[in-house]
Structure 1
Amino acid sequence: MIESWLFVLAMIAVMMTPGPSNALMASSAHQQGIAKTCMLIPAELLGYFYAINLWALIIHLSAPVWPNLIHLLHFLSIAYVLWLAFHLWKSTHLHQYNQKHPSIQPRELFISSLKNPKALLFAAGIFPIETWASPLNFILVFAVFSVVLLPVALFWMAFGRTILAGKTQKIKADLLYKGSALMLILCMFPVVLRFFA
């Protein structure tokens, strides 16, 4: 069984961080409405599922040949999170995504989450090593991941739609981004400590 469930905090923080998948969800909610955009959530979940497991497989297969790869990927993951924390998107990025993607399809969201660097972060740094030790752990961790993904996707649909519709002031969006950066850094402490342990 999984020793500590602190990874859930880091998972929430990373999922809440603005990224390509979140921007596509926000843009789709603005263009097509929240109800229709909810149909895209399984595509995002499937993209993350394949990407995380592909990274986990690469890490597992390379462990006998290059055992330090996991440490390198873990370090790169932490660096990526810190970069995200200090370079969070502004509302103008949502407007750019909205203009580039006039009609978002499930395939686009699947590919976006498949290529999302957050998948490496989940596989190398956030998900416990015990995730792949037994089918029960695997199911439990991905069930929690699914439960976290749903409200985060709904949040980005509502928040992005509000920003793109011009119903919020810029200062409110800036406060959310700063709060998101702070939450990300605080929730990543268990991951950073595991790296140095």
Structure 2
Amino acid sequence: MSYTFFFSAVLALLLAPGPTNTLMALAAAQRGPRRVLCLLPSELLGYLTTILPLAALGNWLFERWPDVGVTLKVAAAIWMMYLALKLWGVRFGGGGNAEVTSLRVYITTVLNPKALIFGLVLLPVPVDAQFLPKLGLLCLSATAVALIWGLAGALTQVGKAGETRLRIAHRIASIWLALVSFALLASLLRTYATEAGF
């Protein structure tokens, strides 16, 4: 796979709305764009936690134990639904805390379906000479995209009515995460239904 195609595919995936991007935008909406810089190491570490083992062992692992992939998808769906409920229930002006923490970003990124695609499809195996340059390109792209989403989130605080826009951002993020969670579970159910002949 050429570097141009790899970069295009990575950028298209990273820019698409997803759980990690949602949290980065929300973090900047809550505490300003600098918060994204503090959370970047957690996002990158989350991607690497999933990508590196999958690039090395993913195909062998899923061939030997196909239920591992299903387990990862179910775990991701449950985590995203948990985040969605947490964001929906936040109270403004005191009480409920839906602050975007490093741990939340890390776990969300580890379970992000995009990481599966990077590790299993887009990146070559670690012994390939292109692995490290492409992994570096992926990390740089993830950093740039996190900053873009953070800037978008920070714009919700510009001018008056910042708290109203932040409340709307929480609701949109909550709904989006719930939809991603349902989509993951629906794809699993469709797969099982097809395999069972329904």
Which bin holds the TM-score, normalised by the shorter protein? 0.5 to 0.7
Aligned residue identity for 1:49: L
- The counterpart of 1:147, out of the listed 131, 134, 140, is 140
1:125 aligns with 2:121: yes
Aligned residue identity for 2:150: M
- Contact 2:47–2:110, Cα closer than 8 Å, also in 1: yes
Quick one: structure 1 residues 29 and 123, their matched pair in 2 at CA, closer, same or farther if it must change by over 3 Å? same
Aligned residue identity for 1:28: A
How many aligned residue pairs are there?
141
Q: What is the deviation of 1:13?
A: 0.5
**Residues 48-59 of structure 1 correspond to what in structure 2 (within 5 A)?**
48-59=47-58
1:13 aligns with 2:6: no
- Contact 1:56–1:123, Cα closer than 8 Å, also in 2: yes
- Contact 2:40–2:146, Cα closer than 8 Å, also in 1: yes
Radius of gyration: which is bigger? 2
Cross-structure match for 1:185: none
Quick one: structure 1 residues 119 and 101, their matched pair in 2 at CA, closer, same or farther if it must change by over 3 Å? farther
Gaps of 5+ in 1: 74-92, 168-197
**Residues 56-67 of structure 1 correspond to what in structure 2 (within 5 A)?**
56-62=55-61
Q: What is the deviation of 1:101?
A: 5.8
Cross-structure match for 1:45: 44
Q: What is the deviation of 1:53?
A: 1.8
1:138 aligns with 2:131: yes
**Residues 78-93 of structure 1 correspond to what in structure 2 (within 5 A)?**
none
d(CA) in 1 for partners of 2:56, 2:125: 12
1:111 aligns with 2:110: no
Q: What is the deviation of 1:124?
A: 2.0
TM-score where L is the length of structure 1: 0.59
Aligned residue identity for 1:133: V
- Contact 1:27–1:97, Cα closer than 8 Å, also in 2: no
RMSD: 3.3
Q: Matched residues, percent identical?
A: 26
- Contact 2:28–2:154, Cα closer than 8 Å, also in 1: yes
Quick one: structure 1 residues 162 and 63, their matched pair in 2 at CA, closer, same or farther if it must change by over 3 Å? closer
Aligned residue identity for 2:127: A
SS of the residue corresponding to residue 124 of structure 1 reads helix
Cross-structure match for 2:181: none
TM-score where L is the length of structure 2: 0.59
Gaps of 5+ in 2: 70-83, 91-95, 167-198
d(CA) in 1 for partners of 2:89, 2:27: 8
